[in-house]
Amino acid sequence: MSNSASHLMPIFNRLPVAFAHGNGVRLTDVNGKVYLDALSGIAVNGLGHNHPRLVQALQAQVAQVIHVSNLYDVPQQHELANALAQLSGMDEVFFSNSGAESNEGAIKLARLYGQQQGKKDAKIIVMSEAFHGRTLATLTATGNAKVQKGFEPLVSGFVRVPYNDVEAIKAYADDESVVAVMLEVVQGEGGIRCLNAGVLTEIRALCDAHGWLLILDEVQTGIARTGKWFAHQHENVKPDVMTLAKGLGSGVPVGAILTSGRATGVFPVGAHGTTFGGNPLAMAAGLATVAAIESDGLAANAERQGAAIKRGLNLALKDEVLAGDVRDIRGLGLMIGIELDRPCGELVKLALNEGMLINVTHDTVVRLLPPLVFSDEDSAELVDRLSKLIKNFLNEAP
């Protein structure tokens, strides 16, 4: 809980709540109040809270060894890399600590790939409204002026095009300095915006035609969040580079860069590295997460519950949709956005008061990222409670 004597940097605008423990899709605060978690730590806690398989795996690993340097072999890295390669069809994996670190590594890889192709002053095509992280290179790749403000000069080597605009990408077909296209299949921070059907296939074809790498940022969409292991599998398109984090460690920091085809082998020994990435504790978390999602069918559950929540919200808010107060209800799997016709950040505090954890992004979009373990009853409860909250908000803030 925040207080005036804190020595923490005041970077986060924290809500006035602190949690004592969690169980499944519920969190309990230090005063005993219980909350329905429809945010899952921003798409991190896919297994919910206190999942027995994860707890057992972490306790066992802590009792053995938590960390060793990447100067030594870490057998669990091979095991998790093999599992991810089998699920994705990618060739090689590098483990990092976070999504930003993974995306930073992907940008470095693309630049080195360009150098190896004889391309100087490499450019990466990125999208408007994208979010790739807050390190200097990834915030430059991010398409949000608010995130970039004050940190100029930004990193050179990025050109930006509108999301979903294949023709804008084609305009760079004759630019010999382009080395890659980087994008999210579903933009999370950008307001839960999805690529239109067929667009990813067209971009894949453009990359193949011009020797560009296709980099997919699946930090938020990966690990079954959208109803498939990876969001690009909805269109059966394989990237050259894919980045992961968030749901991979179920709360233990784990990120990954996966490569395929011509992106494999670009990094020679010493070209990249990490201190904590891929340590035994992180790998235990990743292995337990992948095993639980696979054995419990959580990808299919995410697809089913996501469809039920969208269907329920459309029904409960049909009058508001017709009136234009609710502009859209969209998303893939358990990555859902409800776009209103007005700023709605206040809804986060109103939901907190009602015992629900939600998020608002892009000023006007309620973002829902429930744990993958949501049940039919949890989805029905969320629809009922959230739709009433939105109705009241719209009535009181016309």
Q: Is the pLDDT of residue 202 over 60?
A: yes
* Partners of 193 in beta bridges: 187
Predicted confidence (pLDDT) per residue in 24-40, tens digit? 999 999 999 999 999 99
Residue 342 labelled as part of a binding site: no
Q: What pLDDT was estimated at residue 72?
A: 98
Joined together, the tokens standing for residue 54 give: 């994860």
**Does residue 217 carry a catalytic annotation?**
yes
Q: Is the pLDDT of residue 3 over 70?
A: no
Q: Is the pLDDT of residue 108 over 60?
A: yes
> Looking at 123, 228, 246, 310, which residue is catalytic?
246
Q: What pLDDT was estimated at residue 5?
A: 82
Q: Is the pLDDT of residue 397 over 70?
A: no
Q: Is the pTM of this model over 0.95?
A: yes
Residue 129 labelled as part of a binding site: no
Joined together, the tokens standing for residue 289 give: 């997460």
Handedness of CA 266, 238, 91, 288 (dihedral sign): positive
Predicted confidence (pLDDT) per residue in 112-151, tens digit? 999 999 998 999 999 999 999 999 999 999 999 989 999 9
Q: What pLDDT was estimated at residue 120?
A: 85
Residue 100 labelled as part of a binding site: yes
In the structure, what pLDDT confidence band is assigned to residue 290 with cuts at 50, 70 and 90? very high
Query: Rg for the chain (alpha carbons), in Å?
Result: 21
> Looking at 94, 95, 131, 158, which residue is catalytic?
131
Residue 220 labelled as part of a binding site: yes
Q: Is the pLDDT of residue 398 over 90?
A: no
Cβ-based neighbour number of residue 376 at 10 Å? 11
What secondary structure letter does DSSP report for 150? Answer: T
* Nearest-angstrom CA–CA distance, 383 and 364: 18
Average pLDDT over residues 291-319: 98
Amino acid at 111: R
Q: Is the pLDDT of residue 2 over 60?
A: no
CA torsion angle 77 80 81 82 (round to 10):
120
The answer to whether 282 touches 96, Cβ cutoff 8 Å, is: no
Q: Is the pLDDT of residue 231 over 90?
A: yes
Total number of residues shown for the chain: 398
**Alpha-helical segments (H) within 238-361:** 280-295, 298-316, 318-323, 346-353
Q: Is the pLDDT of residue 245 over 70?
A: yes
**Does residue 310 carry a catalytic annotation?**
no
Q: Is the pLDDT of residue 299 over 60?
A: yes
> Looking at 37, 217, 240, 325, which residue is catalytic?
217
Residue 131 labelled as part of a binding site: yes
DSSP H or E stretch at residue 209: helix 199-210
**Does residue 29 carry a catalytic annotation?**
no
The answer to whether 49 touches 23, Cβ cutoff 8 Å, is: yes
The answer to whether 57 touches 287, Cβ cutoff 8 Å, is: yes
Amino acid at 95: F
Residue 218 labelled as part of a binding site: yes
Cis bond upstream, residue 10 (ω within 30): no
Predicted confidence (pLDDT) per residue in 313-322, tens digit? 999 999 999 9
**Per-position DSSP letters for 79-123, written without gaps between them:** HHHHHHHHHH--SEEEEESSHHHHHHHHHHHHHHHHHHTT-SS-E
In the structure, what pLDDT confidence band is assigned to residue 291 with cuts at 50, 70 and 90? very high
Q: Is the pLDDT of residue 1 over 70?
A: no
Residue 201 labelled as part of a binding site: no
Q: All domains of the chain, ordered by start, with CATH?
A: 19-50+297-396 (3.90.1150.10), 65-296 (3.40.640.10)
Closest by CA to 257, choosing from 281, 273, 241, is 241
Predicted confidence (pLDDT) per residue in 336-384, tens digit? 999 999 999 999 999 999 999 999 999 999 999 999 999 999 999 999 9
Residue 219 labelled as part of a binding site: yes
Q: What pLDDT was estimated at residue 71?
A: 97
* Nearest-angstrom CA–CA distance, 155 and 189: 21
